[in-house]
Structure 1
Amino acid sequence: MTTTNELPDFAPVPHSAHGPAVNEQGYFVGRVEKNLYWVTDGGYQAAFLTTPDGVVLFDAPPTIGHNLQRAVDEIASANGVSNKVTHLVYSHHHADHIGASSLFGKDVVRVGHADTKRLLQRYDDPARPLPDVTFEQDHTLRVGGERIDLAWRGTNHTPDNIYLHLPDHDTLMLIDVVVPGWGSFAAFNVNSDVPGSMAAPGTALSFPWKHFIGGHLGRLGTRDDVVLHGQYIEDIAESARAALSTVDPMPFYAKYGDNTWAAVKAYLDTATEYAAAPVVRKYAGVLGAADVFIASTTFVILESLRLEAGVGLQIHP
């Protein structure tokens, strides 16, 4: 059994990564701009827009769960507006972001990408009712005089992950691509399309906005956060390219003989370590947990460069 003395040490998390404290019920709700609010439990985020015709909720993470309605109730009571959720917009199909959808009943109009519906049909999950309204490329949702622009710009984290733009509130919501103030989650956020996810921050910056909701951890983001994330990922990619051109695989095959998988593992582990080290040195103290998932994130990007972009692969003479 591993003891606490045997657990690894990681770099301290910079103060800039932290968000506001949650209340006794385990959530924080705050204004983004005007009648747009965000909710977090310190690990996940959702948002909602109050309107004269009801509330539009953006995602429903199960870790926040019933606190979503409590947050809506809190704001509605303070401002004398309706607390009834009439619309629920799905950012994408993953259960950790919409697994509390069923809490809002059958009468809520659920909106999502066409692929969100297709992917949810695989699972027949009662916690994630299928979207009632779907779209392929662009869709403008209008509720109570408010405008929400939904856009699909190609695959990134998932095939269906969309950009939720609220132009009248200077806000963009893009889930599971950029975590403001933090390094990436394991395996480059478990992205299904690595090149698409590497390009997504640039696409996000092409929209006009001031506030950013990334879906995870405890604070809102800014344009500077998205720029920083893009640079962090590009630094990983640049370092991975250097590793693929520098680390010689032949000594590993010589050592392990007919155990091909051992040779491949040792080579890729070494190349990954080579690539990750300078990134950790640069971003420790700048991004929270820059060193925690760096190995798996670097490996995924390195393998994408090697297998998808063809970097470092040589034709036998």
Structure 2
Amino acid sequence: MPAIPAIGDRTARYMDIPEAAKGPDVDPAKGYRLQDFGGGLYMITDNVYQSMFLVYDKGVVVVDAPPLYAAKIQQGIAEVTDKPITHLIYSHAHKDHIGGAKAIGGNPVIIAHAETARLLKRAADPDRPVPSVTFQDKYTLNVGGKKLELSYFGNAHEPGNIYIRAPEQKVLMVVDVIFPGWMPWRRFAVAQDVPAVFAQVEDIRKMKGWDTLVGGHVARTGTRADVDVQAEFYADLKKAAGGALATTKLGEGMDPKDQTNPWALFDNYIDRVALQCVNTLTPKWATRLGGYDAWIWDQCFAMEQSMRIEEG
């Protein structure tokens, strides 16, 4: 098993991407691809970011506008309809998912959770207009006989991050929580509440009424099996970090003079906990998740921090 370089160490080459993590290719001339879910619902992606749009009798509802390809969303829509964009739904406030709101053109009604509106008012970013329609718990958008159900289950990734479900197509979009076939982005996708992220993964596993998951990132959509794999990895990660916390002694092997420096004491301790966590997980998971070697140290550091500080 190849060694996993620590944070800050450079590697000559990252590990190969497992076949299970790969998706359909993007036409380089377009810079995006479309995936038809039926009933007027499509995913548009550059195989790094994912957004959706829903075509109805009078227009188009767009869900998220990542700035990397937002200028091409109209081009993608034009492949299937000449109707205008009438609505834009924000999954949450992060700029990498909605910073192209202006670039999609038109003057759509913008819908988001109230927490997203609060964060965007604070940001005062012209690339992310403040939504004109907000909600607290649930909101259903009915347009021309088409339906999108928006739900909020609390802060995990960040306040205001919502679930978007298309019941007719059995598609669920939850951004920055599930990463089908891949190691999640660093530190649980920079989650604000790690235990809540774990809880949301379990909620998605149990939620009925969906077959296809749009996670907002990576090269393909997800399945229930993908959610099971991520939940299994998280369970193993928590067990590995817990075992490392239980067996690593504070200050062991350090110069006695450094033990009077509390920052050095804990830096040494946390590094050794993370190392044991990484070494425990690598034999099973290194070849199962795309990008494992890129972010496994981050996940072990974040898991250690959460268990030691948040869970005790």
Question: Taking structure 1 as the reference length, what is the TM-score of the superposition?
Answer: 0.91
Residue 162 (structure 2) pairs with residue 162 (structure 1): yes
Offset at 1:9? Answer: 3.5
Give the Cα–Cα distance (whole angstroms) in 2 for the partners of residues 281 and 9 of structure 1: 19
- The C-alpha deviation readout for 1:45-69, integer Å capped at 9, x for no partner, is 1111111021110100001121111
The question of 1:296 aligning with 2:298 is answered yes
Asked whether the 8 Å contact 1:252–1:267 carries over to 2, the reply is no
Q: CA deviation at 1:254?
A: 5.1
Superposition map of 1:65-104 within 5 A: 65-76=70-81, 82-104=82-104
- For 2:130, the equivalent position in structure 1 comes to 130
Amino acid at match of 2:18: P
Q: Find the counterpart in structure 2 of residue 144 from structure 1.
A: 144
Match in the other structure for 1:247: 248
8 Å Cα contact 2:18/2:287 also seen in 1: yes
Matched ranges for 1:186-201 at <5 A = 186-201=186-201
Following the alignment from structure 1 to structure 2, what is the Cα–Cα distance between the partners of residues 228 and 276? 18
Aligned residue in 2 for 1:203:
203
2 CA distance for matches of 1:218 and 1:143?
29
Do the aligned partners of 2:67 and 2:99 also contact (CA within 8 Å) in 1?
Answer: yes
Task: Give secondary structure in 1 for the equivalent of 2:147.
Answer: strand
Contact 2:73 2:104 in 1 (8 A): no
* TM-score, normalising length: structure 2: 0.92
Match of 1:230 in 2: 231
CA distance in 1, matches of 2:35, 2:106: 27
Does the alignment pair 1:257 with 2:259?
yes
Check conservation: 2:42, 2:52, Cα contact below 8 A.
Answer: yes
Q: C-alpha distance in 2, partners of 1:33/1:213? A: 14
Provide the rounded CA distance (Å) in 2 between the counterparts of 1:36 and 1:176. Answer: 20
Q: How far 1:249 moved relative to its partner?
A: 1.1
Q: 2:217 is matched with which residue?
A: 216
Partner Cα separation in structure 2 for residue 262 and residue 105 of structure 1: 52
3-state SS, counterpart of residue 54 of structure 2: strand
CA distance in 1, matches of 2:300, 2:232: 14
Q: What amino acid is aligned across from residue 145 of structure 2 in structure 1?
A: G
User: Is contact 2:32–2:69 with CA below 8 Å preserved after alignment?
Assistant: yes
Partner of 1:285: 287
What is the aligned-residue identity percentage?
36
Residue matched to 1:79: none
Is the CA contact (8 Å cut-off) linking 1:253 and 1:260 kept in structure 2?
A: no
Instruction: Give per-residue Cα distances to partners, 1:35-92, cap 9 Å, x unaligned.
Output: 211011121111111110211101000011211111111122xxxxx43111111000
Cα distance change, pair 252–130 in 1 and its aligned pair in 2 (3 A): farther
SS of aligned partner of 1:212: strand
Alignment of 1:5-24 (within 5 A): 7-23=11-27, 24=29
Counterparts of 1:150 and 1:19, CA distance in 2: 27
C-alpha deviation, 1:298, in angstroms: 1.3
2:38 and 2:154 map into 1 onto residues whose CA distance is 28
> What runs of 5+ residues in structure 1 fail to find an aligned partner?
1-5, 77-81, 311-317
Shift of 1:207: 3.5
The letter of the residue matching 1:245 is: A
Q: How far apart are the structure 2 equivalents of 1:101 and 1:31? A: 22
Q: Which amino acid aligns with 2:275?
A: E
Q: Which moved more, 1:109-118 or 1:275-284?
A: 275-284
- 1:181 aligned partner: 181
The alpha-carbon deviation at position 301 of structure 1 amounts to 1.4
Q: Quote how far apart the aligned CAs of 1:252 are.
A: 5.2
**How far did 1:200 drift?**
1.0
Once the two structures are TM-superposed, the CA of residue 211 in structure 1 deviates from its matched residue by 0.5
Deviations along 1:9-39, one digit per CA (max 9) or x if unpaired, are 4321111111111111211112123321101
Q: Secondary structure at the match of 1:286?
A: coil
Residue 65 of structure 2 aligns with an amino acid whose one-letter code is A
1:253, distance to aligned residue in structure 2 (A):
5.6
Letter in 2 for 1:191: A
Determine helix, strand or coil for the equivalent of 1:156: coil
Equivalent residues, number? 300
Asked if the contact 2:181/2:226 (under 8 Å) is kept, the reply is: yes
Instruction: Determine helix, strand or coil for the equivalent of 2:168.
Output: helix
Residues 22, 106 of structure 1: CA spacing in aligned structure 2 closer, same or farther, 3 A cutoff? closer
Please report how far the alpha carbon of residue 266 of structure 1 lies from its aligned counterpart in structure 2 after TM superposition: 1.3
**Equivalent in the alignment of 1:49:** 54
- Give yes or no for contact 2:50–2:216 (8 Å, CA) kept in 1: yes
Q: Deviations over 1:83-138 (max 9, x none)?
A: 31111110000000000111244620110000000000111111111111100001
* Paired residue type of 2:231: G
